[in-house]
Amino acid sequence: MQSQNTNIQSLRPTLIMGVGGTGYEIVVRVKARIQETYPDALLRRVSYLVLDTDPNQAPVRNSIGEQVSLDPAEMINIGGVPVAGIRRNIANYPEIQAEIPVHTLPQQSLNQGAKQIRPLGRLAFFHHFETIQSTIRSALNTILNIKSQDEVSRAPVVNIFIVSSVCGGTGSGIIIDLAYLTRYLARQLAIPDGRIFNVGMFVLPEAFPKINISSRAQIRANASATFAELDHFTKYQDFRVTYPTGVYIEDERPPFSIRYLIGASNKNNLTINGMQQLAPTVAEALFLHLGSYLGASTASVFDNIPTAISSREQHGFLSSYSMIGTSTLRFNARRMQQACAFYLTHRLVEDVFLFDPHQNDRELAFNSHRVDNRSSIQEELEADLNFYLSDLRLSPQQIKEQLKQIGGKAMSVEVNIKRFESHPADSMVRFVKRALDTHQQTAIVNGYFKSMEDNQVTHANAATERLTMLICDMIDNPEYGIMAAEYFLDQLRQRFTEFNQSLTADHQRAERDSKRVERILKGDEEQSVRKGKMPSRGNNGIEHEFTAASQQYLMWLPWQQTKLRRAMQRYADYRIQSMQFLLEQEVATQGQLLIERIDAHRQQLQGALAKLKDELNRIHGEAQASLESLRGSWHPTHVLEVEIAGSNDVERFFYDFLPESTLGVAREYLTQYPLSKHLRVLESTSNGAHPNTMGIATSISEEISRYTVHKFDSISSGISTEETSTVEQLMQQNRTGFDDQDRQLDDLIYRAAPLLSYDATPAGQQANSLDTVLVVGVYNRDASSFSEQLSKHKDASLISTFDRHRVSVLHTEHGYPIYALNQYPEYLRTFASYQARTGAFPLLCFNETRSEIETRTLFAKAEAFGLIESHSAGGFYFDKSDVEDEENYEAPKQIHLGNSFEDAVRSLMTDFSLRALVQRKVDKWNANHSHQDAIIALDAYERMPARQPKALDDELRLFVSGAKEYHNMLSMGSGSIA
């Protein structure tokens, strides 16, 4: 194959411009077509511009359903024209005043379309001229990339495509100005005239079947006016216009190298219904035009069209019109790849990520494999739960044991009571009380309690981190999934409830025992006071020191001292028990706090899982909806396209190109894109913060899309539309009936007949005398399997398009005059009727064209009324008799107009004084005859034998037909058409 680098260097710089709504519909599809096919390096050689008075254009869908639109820099808004202000101050706009009859235009602002009024569209062009000029110059600079004068000599041929309808006001009103301005700007960039290739693609009224009757007449009249102007500048080449900013353009060449007319049906009765079908067809034609330039710069099959056929003018441009049609054999690989990716997303989310372990009997078919029965998952989850609790020692007894650890030993209340016995009796009570109070405060409260709290925090942190890791492992394990993780956490909640109940019971038991001991202690204190005959102070017993008298009394009564020592020892024992029960209460309290901390984290994880599940469900729903949307819109974009695989083939491609099982695919995905990454983000924002769930969902969606689309890359790389065996197999399965390449190519050529209803007979030609060019676009012209089949088509050429999945035929025919168009008589009749309408807005934009049409109509009337004669000796003469001679000089009664029919018409068009004489005589004839007389004379003219040149004769007859309709209308007593 030709190397891409070679093609990139030789691809012609191309500017594709659309005008009006039709231009946008086609150009945006060309952009989508080129972007999805060509490498980035080639894309820089193409620029897109659309000029429109209504900037509110909707995006379109490309071949896989993605929205495509033009960038803001590619849209030139030429609306917002203050028509009324320009009319009031027309003297301030000399360029507009010279070219546009502003006083005849409606005084509304031009904001949303030109209302099918062509001069309004041209007014918008003048009003925004400076912006249009600078934008086009910038676009040409971009695609030419000429950085030095040395590069000018090597400047390539520049393709300029101008796409529009001939029906509305915006497009048909400015295409001629746009063509000349773009050529002028290219010349300013030092591109030689011979290297500027202007191609016009113009859509006819028949492409808009749903338009109402009144508007249908308007757009046909606009079409007639557009063709009159295209014809004028193609034939007479007298374009001279001064634009705002002082730009003067004078060009003695036709505006376009080739002018394509595009209708809605071809000679094989294949009809395209509306712009939604026609726009992709024209876009494909333009794409193939561009594709034919891939190769050496002289390799374009269109280079020789203007010079190789007979109907061309002096500069080699086509003086006639051309027709265009395309057809496509297509394997929509990207759409099939995308559909399989959506289907895989659906299966991954439903069958793996959100698999419900409770549905044990669920059958999950995946690529002819059943997912392993997961009835044992609950047992495994129970085992995992028990292991988690056991490994972290989270049973109530183990929790208490862990909390009571200090310095590698278990916490206990140890007080040496023996040392109390040797203490003097007179200070014993005070000493014992102070010693036990100190021990309780320092060893228990400040020591053990603080250590228990530290132990609780340490173990809670370890347990929560371990829980997070365990849940992350579960959702990243295709055999578990989010639903299994939720089940695990729910079971953990139940266990924690049980543990908390047990610890609560422990706390309550220790509290009861503590209160019992406190009651005993209080009784002992009171008894000690009574037995020691110690004065009680406020019934506080031994909590107060003895008075000096009491101490003295006890010293002389030894037996009383013995009783006191025994009471103090018993008191100390109960105080130790009280501290032990206090320790048990704190252990239970810290155990509950430990469970609460872990359970709070469990709730965070459960909330994060719920959010993650919601987003996955949303992604799942979007994948299903997208798949159904693709299925629903899978049909060919128009009747000229054949799909070799459709929506019914998605499952077959899915299984053929993804032989792995559910778990295998999911395992690979989760290795590359772990869900735990998103879970940790959601988990970290669960404490009152608001996580960006939409961003997380978008991230997950992009990861799944990236992965699933990549899994089916082999669909794009593994199937080419040119691979005979694959295409035959696919087409047979879809019952298309084209089981060999000869029939495929013949069908493509048959379908690609140009979209135009025409008759070659009025043009004085046979149908097969038109010059035909067949272009077959394939992935690689140097290795195409169609080379042999094309050998029997002498007019066919192969081009490379870089598109593996389409074989397209571009069929063009060149060399027919506008009068061969079947609808053209109707266009002219509508034009004549519209011109006669009272108060109607002007149809023509150029003064030169108005003068030409008036002169041709005048010549036809004069001939029909017998004022122009053909002598047997040859030549045409005008009878000047009965015409007042304003200059009062002798002149012959008959004026020789020329030796041929064509010379006679040209004489009248170029001799203004002669034209004035003929006009006066026609006016005099009208004054002396009725409308019925005029109709009879014009009707007789229409039935005259044909004369040569046939094209000119047919044209004049059409003008006569319009004039006859005009007189017919007036004969009915109305000066206007309702």
Mean pLDDT of 23-41: 89
Contact 313, 815 (CB under 8 A): no
Q: How many residues does the chain have?
A: 978
Strand partners, 323: 261, 813
Nearest partner of 309 among 752, 902, 795, judged by Cα: 795
146-150, 246-250, 592-596: the lowest-pLDDT one: 146-150
- The pLDDT tens digits for 512-564 are 998 888 888 777 555 544 444 443 333 334 433 333 334 444 454 566 667 77
Nearest-angstrom CA–CA distance, 140 and 160: 10
Average pLDDT, the chain: 82
Nearest-angstrom CA–CA distance, 944 and 953: 10
Structure confidence at residue 242 (pLDDT) = 96
More confidently predicted of 154 and 933: 933
Angle 931-942/950-971 helices, nearest 10 degrees? 160
User: If residue 814 lies in a helix (H) or strand (E), which one and from where to where?
Assistant: strand 806-816
202-211, 672-681, 786-795: the lowest-pLDDT one: 786-795
Instruction: Answer whether residue 1 shows pLDDT above 70.
Output: no
Most confident of 107-111, 410-414, 529-533, 659-663: 410-414
Q: Other CB atoms closer than 10 Å to residue 150's CB: what's the count?
A: 8
- The pLDDT tens digits for 124-175 are 999 999 999 999 999 998 888 765 455 555 666 889 999 999 998 888 999 9
Which residue matches tokens 């404490």?
A: 687
Instruction: Tell me the CA end-to-end span of the chain in Å, nearest whole number.
Output: 63
215-229, 618-632, 687-701: the lowest-pLDDT one: 687-701
Fill in the DSSP letter of residue 205: G
Nearest-angstrom CA–CA distance, 801 and 291: 5
Share of residues in the chain with pLDDT > 90 (%) = 35
Nearest-angstrom CA–CA distance, 739 and 734: 11
Strand partners, 883: none
Structure confidence at residue 691 (pLDDT) = 53
Q: Tell me the two tokens of residue 141.
A: 């600079």
322-331, 394-403, 532-541: the lowest-pLDDT one: 532-541
Strand partners, 812: 324, 773
Q: Tell me the two tokens of residue 256.
A: 């376009």
Share of residues in the chain with pLDDT > 70 (%) = 81
pLDDT-derived band at 833 (thresholds 50, 70, 90) equals confident
67-76, 453-462, 566-575: the lowest-pLDDT one: 566-575
3-state secondary structure 650-666: HHHHHHHHCCCCHHHHH
Instruction: Answer whether residue 735 shows pLDDT above 70.
Output: no
- The pLDDT tens digits for 252-300 are 999 999 999 999 998 888 888 889 899 999 999 999 988 776 554 556 7
Mean pLDDT of 699-706: 91
Buried b (16+ CB within 10 A) or exposed e, 523-545: ebbeebbeebebeeeeeebbebe
Instruction: Answer whether residue 710 shows pLDDT above 90.
Output: yes
Structure confidence at residue 4 (pLDDT) = 42
Mean pLDDT of 813-834: 84
User: If residue 60 lies in a helix (H) or strand (E), which one and from where to where?
Assistant: strand 60-61
Structure confidence at residue 361 (pLDDT) = 40
pLDDT-derived band at 65 (thresholds 50, 70, 90) equals confident
DSSP per-residue letters across 433-456: HHHHHHHIIIIIIIIIIHHHHHHH
Query: What's this model's pTM, rounded to 2 decimal places?
Result: 0.76
